Amino acid sequence: MSNDHPSFGQAPSGSQPPSIGELFGRMTGQISSLIRGEIALAKTQAMTFLNYTKAGIGALAVAGVLALYGLGWIFHSIELALALVLPAWAASLIVCGGIFFFVLVLAFVGISKLKKSRAHVPHPQDGLKESMDALKKGAHKDEQ
């Protein structure tokens, strides 16, 4: 198969060396195919990452649901154990009271953390503004 344009690394077959335009055309073609290849590789890597991530999230979701069922069984077992020494209604109230006490403690901790998080809200526009200012200062320094 004859090819007027030698591939990368081959010497031209004719007596005349390729022109600057031909060399530039080959170079841009090679760069664009390299970029297309890199994009395809990035897509493949992203899809692989997403597939593993989806599988992990699914497994964690199932584990979380089963853990909630298990927690319910533990509380029920505690209630049955207390019912051996107390009336059933008292055992039930004690277990419910313990659960709601734990819920209140976690709610107060969560509210406290959310209030503290307001001080750490990211402001990406500030970083962009600083970068633009630095670029402008650098450009003005080059002009002098």
- Gyration radius (Cα) of the chain, Å: 34
Question: Could you report the per-residue pLDDT of 51-94, keeping only the tens digit for each?
Answer: 999 999 999 999 999 999 999 999 999 999 999 999 999 999 99
Phi, psi of 7 (to 5 degrees): -75, 175
Q: How far apart are CA 99 and CA 69, in angstroms?
A: 15
pTM of the complete model: 0.51
Give the pLDDT of residue 12.
Answer: 57
